[in-house]
């Protein structure tokens, strides 16, 4: 589990869009995983298991925040765009790619990050997302197509 922490934090960063929230999500994921270690099936992918916990926790927290925002709208602060994290010395192409990734719908971005960035197999990514392998393949394909189109035209992507 310890060896997977950097990758888990990276996945959490793509889910949350903010470094501090990603750290909190990764920490909570590890705590839940340790508390539920007896539920881990030996011989299966620890990475996929942790990512599933992180993903479920992220959506659970998102729902909770949404309810809190509805109740206390004055205190809710939810940025329209995640922190860019792009430094001054990095190229315009990297900034464009960052913008393109954040233009994707959450399900497409999630699939692309799991397969493209986290180097999971389609089977592992499907397990994490709770969908069929074909669905993950389609999402990754759509995400790549939309990014290429965005990079070529610079126009906002369709959902």
- 21 and 60 fall within a common domain: yes
- 49 and 68 fall within a common domain: yes
Q: What does the block give as tokens for 22?
A: 């990603």
- 58 and 98 fall within a common domain: no
What number is the average pLDDT over the span 100-112?
Answer: 85
Looking up tokens 């888990």, which residue turns up? Answer: 8
More reliable by pLDDT, 74 or 87:
87
Residue pair 124/47 in contact (Cβ under 8 Å)? The answer is: yes
- Asked whether residue 114 carries a pLDDT value surpassing 50, the answer given is yes
Measured between alpha carbons, how far is 35 from 141 in angstroms, rounded to an integer?
Answer: 36
What number is the average pLDDT over the span 107-117?
Answer: 87
Cβ neighbours, 10 Å, residue 121: 14
30: containing domain: 1-83
Q: What is the CATH number of the domain that holds 104?
A: 1.10.10.10
More reliable by pLDDT, 81 or 20:
20
**What is the per-residue pLDDT across 18-28, written as a single tens digit (0 to 9) for each?**
888 899 999 99
Q: What is the CATH number of the domain that holds 15?
A: 1.10.1740.10
First to last CA, the chain: 35
Whole-number pLDDT of residue 106: 86
More reliable by pLDDT, 75 or 128:
128
Q: What does the block give as tokens for 87?
A: 């430094």
Among the three residues 83, 112, 140, which one is the final residue of a domain in this structure? 83
């Amino acid at each position: 589990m310890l060896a997977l922490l950097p990758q888990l934090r990276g996945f959490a960063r793509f889910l949350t869009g903010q470094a501090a929230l990603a750290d909190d999500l990764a920490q909570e994921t590890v705590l839940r995983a340790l508390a539920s270690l007896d539920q881990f099936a030996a011989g299966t992918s620890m990475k996929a298991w942790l990512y599933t916990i992180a993903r479920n926790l992220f959506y659970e927290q998102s729902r909770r925040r949404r309810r809190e925002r509805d109740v206390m709208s004055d205190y809710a602060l939810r940025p329209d765009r995640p922190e860019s994290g792009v430094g001054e010395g990095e190229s315009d192409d990297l900034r464009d790619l960052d913008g393109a990734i954040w233009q994707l719908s959450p399900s497409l971005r999630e699939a692309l990050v799991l397969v493209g960035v986290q180097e999971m197999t389609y089977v592992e990514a499907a397990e994490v997302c709770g969908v069929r392998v074909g669905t993950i393949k389609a999402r990754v394909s759509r995400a790549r197509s939309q990014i290429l189109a965005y990079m070529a035209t610079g126009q906002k992507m369709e959902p």
